[in-house]
Copies of this chain bind each other. A is one copy, B any other.
């Protein structure tokens, strides 16, 4: 379905970096969910570039909800959120129309759309489009929180520096969700940011790893095979352009373990079944087992850099050089965090509404 994801609760996104507006339509959310515009604003602010570690293009993100919300609550019908593009400088990009920026989709978009694509600022491929996901995700997050389900993501690694791990999930999640630069161990924030600034000063960029925890998921949710929790989450997460890897629980580290070490022993805690370790990331056979759902996303370094790069003119089919214009970020890991939270929330709403019915998320 291209720009639509989800079956029972679906998200459709639209827009181009330098077009009139970007936005999203969410369909299938239960009626009666309180929609807190301040919370949406706040979530959008977590995605916005800030200070010396980000692009100077700052969008106000003056979103408008133009359908599906009535008297402050979801109606159950499609919610369309529109976010105008305001701070666009199109001429930055028009001169380099046919130069393929390495790591970007300029060339593949040209091949796919035969030159009809809106190439300005990456067009529909721009990270700008994720603002629509964040606005939509804010409503999903609110709904999940009411049901005791919380999502938190931290910058597990950035510019070769590692953050601490989750210790107390709920405390950590609540704390992370208030931070602009989401690390568990605040002492690493400055180190990471120094590296980002350093990369920027060298005309370069850095990547990182985001680690997400979901707590409060009911047991027995998900499907074997193609609608496994892993399948549905990874499908959505790999929709975010910079993400090139997704792993659950122990992930790639499991490949080097023995079964006796990787298996999570079950035990009884009161009347609840739990596991001692969580190498399976809260998922067995595609289905939640009640432990925190844990996954990590590899975020590649921002492809837009200021160094001169070898590339091609794909209209003339000849070699050329590129000195990046446009405004860009030396790092998007910290900004991608809330996008991961948002798309995760929308996927969970879809899964839970399918499992328990469309009213389950209602207040």
Contacts and interface: CB of A to CB of B under 8 A. Distances in A.
B12 A78 contact: yes
Question: Chain copies in the assembly?
Answer: 4
B124 A75 contact: yes
Contacts of A113: 31-32, 75-77
Interface in A196-240: 199, 203-209, 219-228, 230-232, 234-236, 238-239
Contacts of A157: 255-256
Contacts of A275: 102
A243 B250 CA distance: 11
Given A8-B8, A284-B105, A15 B362 contact: no
Contact of A225 (B3, B262, B287, B314): B3
Q: Which 7 interchain pairs have the tightest Cβ spacing?
A: A105-B285, A111-B220, A245-B247, A205-B259, A102-B263, A108-B287, A31-B116
Given A285-B104, A287-B109, A268 B312 contact: yes
Instruction: Assign chain A's interface to a size class.
Output: 35 or more
A66 interface: yes
A206 to B, nearest CB: 6
Interface stretch (A43-51, A55-63, A184-192, A303-311): A303-311
A160 interface: yes
A226 B234 contact: no
A108 B285 contact: yes
A80 B14 contact: yes
A254 to B, nearest CB: 4
Nearest to A125: B285
Contact of A219 (B8, B27, B111, B203): B111
B107 A258 contact: no
Given A111-B287, A230-B238, 9 more contacts: A14-B77, A20-B67, A22-B67, A102-B275, A105-B224, A231-B236, A244-B252, A259-B304, A267-B312
A355 interface: yes
B259 A100 contact: no
A160 B256 contact: yes
Contacts of A19: 66-67, 70
A12 B31 contact: no
A244 B285 contact: no
A175 interface: no
A193 interface: no
A21 B266 CA distance: 31
Interface string A95-123: 00000101111011111111011100001
Contacts of A20: 64-67
Given A245-B251, A252-B209, A263-B303, A280 B112 contact: no
